[in-house]
Amino acid sequence: MKEQLAKIRAEALSAFENVRDAAALDELRVRYLGKKGELTAVLKQMGRLSAEERPAMGQLANEVRAALENALDTASKKMEEAALSAKLKAETVDVTIPGRQVQVGRRHPMNTALDEMKEIFTGMGFTVLDGPEIELSELNFDRLNAGEGHPSRDWSDTFYFDTDERVMLRSQTSPMQVRAMDTLPLPIRMIAPGRVYRKDEVDATHSPMFHQVEGMVIDKGVTMADLKGTLATVAQRLYGPDTKTRFRPHHFPFTEPSCEMDVQCHKCGGAGCPTCKGEGWIELLGAGMIHPRVLEMAGIDPNEWSGWAFGFGLDRLAMLRYKIDDVRLIFENDVRFLEQF
Ligand code: DAH
């Protein structure tokens, strides 16, 4: 029995010393120290020993168990340390590798132009409104004095959702005038930017979806002089204090009188150049005094209140401002284009 214990001890110690991985170590633990292990098997034979032999043999057996447990402990600590240092080595950070470049986003030139407009108008006491792109033709046309048969209602220009021509993608931001009159208390000063839709083929200057900014003022004693003064000031804020504006008569169904406002070309100062197509002037917006019928349809008494309104294309404004020669660039969102602003 003594020899057996000595043999187990020698074998086990050398095995623990040379063990390579955690699975093998566990196998050794079971084999030597487990309930059905070699040491237990020897201890089971203790019963056969005489009463004199038993204490010494018991002591020896305990010593062997302690030595084995100690060796197991050392081996498993060694293994943990090895695993940790392998992990540290594998996860070493190479601080000399150049960093990854961070992509910084920029504002789209059209949003920059819009922010500028909002800033100018809110500074003059206007409220900014947002409205639906899916609109009732009643608001897009009828309530704006463009009744049945008006050419702008034509199928070839307008995206209708139904054959009754009741629901449509708004073709202008002007229905926001009606929504404002229907919901806001008087007096009103508002702008309403947003997307509008028309059945246009895509080319350098046309897109079936584009952006407009609508504006409207209703108050007591408002005249054409307020319209001209305010819009001329806006043009000067946009293009500099010396910017000249001119107003030409025009026709819109919802204003009377109606006009278009041009700004003198900021590029050539009016002499004529490619930017203004040789005209010396650039058309900026449509405007006019709100038609009395439009006020009446909203339940506003035109004898008591008057107002003016305007609408312009935001994409065109941004294109002029940032010298963009193709409207498709505004909508394609090619980062190579956007990075230039
Ligand atoms: N809605 C017009 C268009 O799309 C632009 C416009 C003209 C708006 C005159 C107005 C206005 O408010 O008074 O061409």
**Distance (Å, rounded) from C-alpha 324 to C-alpha 10?**
88
Q: Would you state the structure tokens that stand for residue 195, as one six-digit string?
A: 């997307």
| Amino acid of residue 168 | M
Nearest residue CA, atom 10 of ligand 1? 310
Q: Ligand 1 in contact with 137 (CB < 6 A)?
A: no
Q: Ligand 1 in contact with 235 (CB < 6 A)?
A: no
Distance of CA 259 to the CA centre of its chain: 38
State which ligand 1 atom lies nearest to the alpha carbon of 254: 13
pLDDT on residue 230: 97
Q: Would you state the structure tokens that stand for residue 74, as one six-digit string?
A: 């050392």
Going from the Cα of 20 to the center of ligand 1, the distance in angstroms, rounded, reads 84
The answer for 314, left when phi > 0, alpha when psi is -120 to 50, beta otherwise, is alpha
Q: Would you state the structure tokens that stand for residue 242, as one six-digit string?
A: 């010396």
**Distance (Å, rounded) from C-alpha 109 to C-alpha 120?**
17
Q: Would you state the structure tokens that stand for residue 139, as one six-digit string?
A: 């608001």
pLDDT on residue 199: 95
98-111 burial string, b = 16+ CB within 10 Å, else e? eeeeeeeeeebbbe
With the most atoms of ligand 1 within 8 angstroms of its CB, the residue from 310, 314, 316 to mutate is: 310
Phi, psi (degrees; rounded to nearest 5) at 12: -65, -45
Burial class of 126 by CB neighbour count within 10 A (0 to 12, 13 to 18, 19+): buried
Q: Ligand 1 in contact with 171 (CB < 6 A)?
A: no
With the most atoms of ligand 1 within 8 angstroms of its CB, the residue from 254, 260, 261 to mutate is: 254
Nearest residue CA, atom 12 of ligand 1? 310
Q: Ligand 1 in contact with 253 (CB < 6 A)?
A: no
Counting runs of H as helices and runs of E as strands, what totals does the chain give?
Answer: 12, 9
Burial class of 94 by CB neighbour count within 10 A (0 to 12, 13 to 18, 19+): exposed
Q: Ligand 1 in contact with 37 (CB < 6 A)?
A: no
Tell me the mean pLDDT per 10 residues along the chain, length 341.
Answer: 84 84 84 84 82 84 85 86 88 89 88 95 98 98 95 93 96 98 98 97 92 98 98 92 95 98 89 90 96 98 98 91 89 89 87
Q: Would you state the structure tokens that stand for residue 197, as one six-digit string?
A: 């839709």
Q: Ligand 1 in contact with 174 (CB < 6 A)?
A: yes
Are 61 and 55 a contacting pair, CB within 8 Å?
A: no
DSSP string, 252-283: -TTEEEEEEEEEE-TTTTTS--GGGTTSSEEE
Other CB atoms within a 10 A radius of the CB of residue 336 amount to 7
The helix/strand/coil state of 285 is strand
pLDDT on residue 115: 96
pLDDT on residue 335: 87
With the most atoms of ligand 1 within 8 angstroms of its CB, the residue from 252, 262, 289, 293 to mutate is: 252
pLDDT on residue 46: 81
Pairing, β 127-128 against β 188-197: parallel
Question: Which residues, including other chains, have CB under 8 Å from residue 204's CB and lie 6 or more apart?
Answer: 325, 326, 327, 328
Q: Ligand 1 in contact with 214 (CB < 6 A)?
A: yes
State which ligand 1 atom lies nearest to the alpha carbon of 172: 4
Q: Ligand 1 in contact with 230 (CB < 6 A)?
A: no
Pairing, β 245-250 against β 209-219: unpaired
pLDDT on residue 225: 98
Whether the full predicted model's pTM is greater than 0.85, yes or no, is no
Considering only CA atoms, which of 209, 177, 193, 175 is closest in space to residue 116? 193
End-to-end CA distance of the chain: 91
Going from the Cα of 172 to the center of ligand 1, the distance in angstroms, rounded, reads 7
Q: What is the CA radius of gyration of the chain?
A: 43
Q: Ligand 1 in contact with 140 (CB < 6 A)?
A: no
